[in-house]
Every structure is written in structure tokens, then in C-alpha cells.
Structure 1
Amino acid sequence: MKQNVYNGRYTAEVDGEFVVFIIGMRINKLLSFSKWITVFRAMGPMIKELYDFKEFGFLHTEVMFNWRRITLIQYWRSFEQLERYAHGKTHAIAWKKFNQKIGMHGTVGIFHETYKITTKSAEAFYGNMPKFGLANAFKHITVTPSINSARKRLETH
């Protein structure tokens, strides 16, 4: 998928409070393909569902791969909406399958961190980049002289 690069200096205009949710998996035993592929495959349908149904409160996700780990940084409108999704049908089915197939076996590790971000406590900068992170979740705008530093962006938004 080709992404447009926006030359110059950009920031994200953040609208109110939101939640950053970091979730992922780590492959602990590479040769146990049949175990960890189940966890990997569970992510796709959930991400598709989140993009298809904006009423869940999901805003955007960034996916990052490294040697043994897949990490998703997600942006949500509120913790309550994230929590509601976590207790919903699609996630409950994936969680049940994980516990049945992996449990405490150690083949695959999973993790998440949740951060509630309050008004005027988030800022972003993107130089010569495609839209990324907060700029995808909220509004992508040009850096102007009035918001040309991290401090100014935090004080303005």
C-alpha cells in the first residue's frame, strides 16, 4: 500500500481526551508455528471489525513488526469504549481460543498497555512523513509559527 509523503512539517490537531492502547504478541518458540499463527490470525478480523464499526470508539491503529514481536498502537475515543470492545463477542472468542490453544504454555507471549490521555497532554510532530499515529486518528495539519515547538503545540491544543 503506497502512502503519500507530506513534505514539510506537520502535527496532529487532537480533539479532546483519548486512549492509547498498545497491544501485541511475541513469538517465544519460532518452531511452534501452529501455535503462534493462531494468535497472529486472530488480529486481522478484530482490526477489520474496528475499522468497519466506528461506533466502537476505535480511531486508528499502527502496526509494527520486528524480529519476534508484532505491536499495534491503537487510538480510542475512550477507555470505556475500549473496555466494552474487550468484553465483546469477537474479542471474547479470540481470547477463549488463545487460552485453549496456548494458555500458560509459553509458546506465544501477549501484552498490552493502556494510557488515558487528557486534554492538552499530547503533541505530535511529523517531518517529511506519511500520515502516522495521531495524525491518522485525528486531524493532520501544517506546523505554523504559532505551533512550531512541542511546548507551543501542547499549550495550544
Structure 2
Amino acid sequence: MSTKIHNGAFTAETEDGFVVFIIGVRLNKIRALFKWLSAIKAMMPMLKELYQNPELGFLQEQTVIGWRTVTTIQYWRTYEQLETYSKGNIHSEALKNFYKKIGKSGSVGLYHETYKVEKDESLYINMPVYGLAKAFSHIRINNKLNTSKKRMERA
């Protein structure tokens, strides 16, 4: 994430319809730290591929690190592009390796959630470019966009 702070209030100007994909791993058993790190490491080649190939439909991601979890929030153009990517070689190999190394042991958890978004609203005050604004456009809030309702109802 860029560290340049944009003072004031900003919002994201998005396109009609996009997908938010949240994926993460959770360390369930402390002794499984190396398995957890292995699962996290498997994400790196996928992100590299996505950033190098914008035609795949991937727009941007933000990684959030917690005490027992690492979560990546991704923005995609369409659900169909996300689904197609999930069937590709790098992702399929990473998933196969997860089951092989971790399987049903319960030591490491894996989760994802997918949302198709038709309308959105965002607010960033004194923040670097972040989230939707990083995936789409970062714009200063004016009188036409100075409330959540106005931002949600914009054409």
C-alpha cells in the first residue's frame, strides 16, 4: 500500500458491477506454523500472475494480516473471470498442494467469500489510496457526493 496520505475526504468512482473476492488462511494449531506459512506462500505466484495479466479480469488486492489469519481482499471485473481463473493451472496446483500438505488435519483453515456488487459506496478520510479507490478511481468528495446516500445513489 502506498504511504502517501491524501488529506481530506475521498471516495472511489467505480464501474457498473464488479466482484469482491475475499480469500484467506487461518492458523488453527500453533504447531502448524510452517504449514500455515506454506499456504500463504502459495498465494504469491497467483498474485504475480494476476498483476502481470490484466486481461484475466483481476483489478487489485489488499492483504490484511491478523494474529492467526492472512486475508486478501481482491477486486475483479466479473464473476466469470474469477471463476475461469480458479480453474487455471497455478490456482489448481496451489489447491492440490494445500490438500496434499494439510488435507483434513484441521491445522490450517482456508476460506473464501465472493460478492457480486451492483452498487457501492466508499469513504476515505486522510488515507492513502486504498480498497475500491485503488482498484478503480480515487476522487475527492464534492457537494454532490458528501453523504453516504448521495454516493450510493449516484448514476
TM-score (norm 2): 0.97
d(CA) in 1 for partners of 2:66 and 2:112?
A: 16
Cα deviation for residue 49 of structure 1 reads: 1.0
Question: Alignment identity in percent?
Answer: 48
C-alpha contact 2:17 2:77 (8 A) present in aligned 1:
yes
For the pair 1:39 / 2:35, whether they are aligned, the reply is: no
Q: Superposed, which structure 2 residues align to 1:55-70 within 5 Å? A: 55-70=55-70
Root-mean-square deviation (CA, aligned residues, Å) is 1.1
Aligned length: 155
Who is 2:110 aligned against? Answer: 110
Q: Superposed, which structure 2 residues align to 1:20-99 within 5 Å? A: 20-99=20-99
For the pair 1:122 / 2:110, whether they are aligned, the reply is: no
d(CA) in 2 for partners of 1:34 and 1:155?
A: 47
User: 3-state DSSP class of the match of 1:31?
Assistant: helix
Who is 1:147 aligned against? Answer: 145
CA deviations on 1:76-126 (whole Å, 9 max, x unpaired) are 0000000001110000000010011111111100000000001xx101000
d(CA) in 1 for partners of 2:53 and 2:69?
A: 27
Cα deviation for residue 2 of structure 1 reads: 5.0
CA deviations on 1:53-82 (whole Å, 9 max, x unpaired) are 101100010100111000111000000000
TM-score (norm 1): 0.95
C-alpha contact 2:27 2:33 (8 A) present in aligned 1:
no
User: 3-state DSSP class of the match of 1:114?
Assistant: strand
Cα deviation for residue 34 of structure 1 reads: 3.0
Who is 1:6 aligned against? Answer: 6
**Which deviates the most, 25-34 or 12-21?**
25-34
d(CA) in 1 for partners of 2:74 and 2:5?
A: 21
d(CA) in 1 for partners of 2:36 and 2:9?
A: 40
CA deviations on 1:5-44 (whole Å, 9 max, x unpaired) are 0000100001111000010000111222332222011011
User: Where does the alignment leave 5 or more consecutive residues of structure 1 unmatched?
Assistant: none
What is the identity, as a one-letter code, of the residue corresponding to 2:51?
Answer: Y
d(CA) in 2 for partners of 1:12 and 1:109?
A: 32
d(CA) in 2 for partners of 1:37 and 1:128?
A: 33
Cα deviation for residue 155 of structure 1 reads: 1.1
